[in-house]
Amino acid sequence: MRPPRLTRMLALESPRPMPDGMGGRRELWEVLGTLHADVRARTGREKAFAAGALSDTGYRITVRAAPAGSPQRPVPGQRLRDGERRFRIEAVTEADAAGRYLICFANEEVAP
């Protein structure tokens, strides 16, 4: 396997439920750290909603591996952030048999 080019810095964020002051909850995102990544687009489609159309694009994001249980190891339900762009992590798998890299399958949703 040729090593990936980890040229982008992405913030790894985890959801943290907080009371909204009206008896409900809202989600705040807590930054866990920064990861070097290789971001590649996979597929894209348009979803229709009552409020209009939404663009849904899949990404394959490769990062350096971290031990299981480490806060630097991405897991489904977290997200990676690049400025205003948000990539919701759907699945994570090892990229190679040696376990040096992880592949995060993520989606970015953007309203036109």
Q: Tens digits of per-residue pLDDT, 6-51?
A: 999 999 999 998 888 888 888 899 999 999 999 999 987 777 766 6
- pLDDT for 80 equals 96
Token pair belonging to 35:
């990861």
- Report, in angstroms and rounded to the nearest whole number, the Rg of the chain calculated over CA atoms: 15
The rounded distance, in Å, linking the Cα atoms of 35 and 101 is 12
Looking at the domain covering 8-110, what would its CATH class be? Answer: mainly beta
CA dihedral 107, 73, 94, 68 (to 10 degrees): -140
**Tens digit of each residue's pLDDT (9 = 90 or more) over 53-68:** 667 789 999 999 998 8
